[in-house]
Structure 1
Amino acid sequence: MTHPNSHSVSVAGVIIDDQGRALLTQRRDNDHWEAPGGVLELNEDITTGLLREVEEETGLQVEPVALTGVYKNMTRGIVALVFRCKVVGGHITETDEARAFRWVTADEVRALATEAFAVRVLDAMHDDHGPAVRQHDGARVIESETPM
């Protein structure tokens, strides 16, 4: 049974390499380029879910470095916690969920990903601010009525 006021929580890992590039995955279900991640399981803690989702989608083991943003899809009621991560093991491997991978610069992120997903990666690529708090409609960022 779905409750009209319920939300789900997802996690994503923006993996940054030594050259400052981010890893994007091309999803098999919709061909979109995004950071690896997914919905937390009900009894799963945030870090465990992040590590599981990233490894399931990329074959990489990562270590979260910092929470870089909290994002809400206002249309679907999904709250996403996004973390900057570094690789600590594994190898990039095609999966049931990801068909391709690219290490990208900020300009390439803007060209490949939709605005709502690009902003997550771009926020994670910049070290100079605390976690961003943003909302979107699934494609475009929506400005907050109350500035933070």
Structure 2
Amino acid sequence: MPDSRHSVSVAGVVVDDQGRALLIQRRDNGHWEAPGGVLEQDEDIITGLRREVQEETGLDVTPTALTGVYKNMTRGIVALVFRCDAAAGSLRQSDETSAFRWVTADEVAELADEAFAIRVQDALIAPSTVPIRQHDGIHILG
């Protein structure tokens, strides 16, 4: 029987007042991506998003819209991507991040792999907001 387990990750596409997205360069492989990572088992979606972005960039963010849901079919990873505003903090490198770059939708296509570039491009053109909610299987939480 095939393994039916999935991993859930989150990414924050932080957008500045010029409409550019923040990319990080990962230390482990040198790839350019939006900041993010895997949710912890006991963590709600927004808390995990804020934690991952803060760990990788030094920024505290406010998510404004869920802009896409993506699945890596090879690895079984479901990614939730959010457009975010920077609320506080300043950019700093981390154990996971070696560089930062603010990019346009066209520039991200030149820097990032297609599967990651499209997430940023979708977030930059997101026309409306989508509710962001957590539940316990029956009731909405928070």
Same fold per superposition (TM over 0.5): yes
Cα deviation 1:28-57 (Å, max 9, x = unaligned) = 000000000000000000000000000000
SS in 1 for 2:49: helix
Say whether residues 1:68 and 2:67 are aligned partners: yes
Instruction: Give the counterpart letter for 1:23 in structure 2.
Output: L
| In 2, Cα distance between equivalents of 1:22 and 1:60 | 13
Q: What TM-score comes out, normalization by structure 1 length?
A: 0.85
Counterpart position of 1:32:
31
| In 1, Cα distance between equivalents of 2:10 and 2:127 | 21
Gaps of 5+ in 1: 132-148
Counterpart position of 1:51:
50
TM-fit CA distance, 1:130: 6.9
SS in 1 for 2:117: helix
| In 1, Cα distance between equivalents of 2:60 and 2:52 | 10
* CA-atom RMSD in angstroms: 1.3
| In 2, Cα distance between equivalents of 1:35 and 1:29 | 15
Task: Count residues with an aligned counterpart.
Answer: 129
SS in 1 for 2:63: strand
The list of structure 1 runs, each at least 4 consecutive aligned residues, that deviate by more than 3 angstroms after superposition, is none
Q: What TM-score comes out, normalization by structure 2 length?
A: 0.88
Counterpart position of 2:125:
126
Over 3 Å counting, the alpha-carbon distance change for 1:57 and 1:45 in structure 2 is: same
Contact 2:11 2:36 in 1 (8 A): yes
Cα deviation 1:112-137 (Å, max 9, x = unaligned) = 00000000000000033677xxxxxx
Instruction: Give the counterpart letter for 1:92 in structure 2.
Output: L
| In 1, Cα distance between equivalents of 2:84 and 2:39 | 17
Cα deviation 1:66-115 (Å, max 9, x = unaligned) = 00000000000000000000000000000000000000011110000000
Counterpart position of 1:83:
82
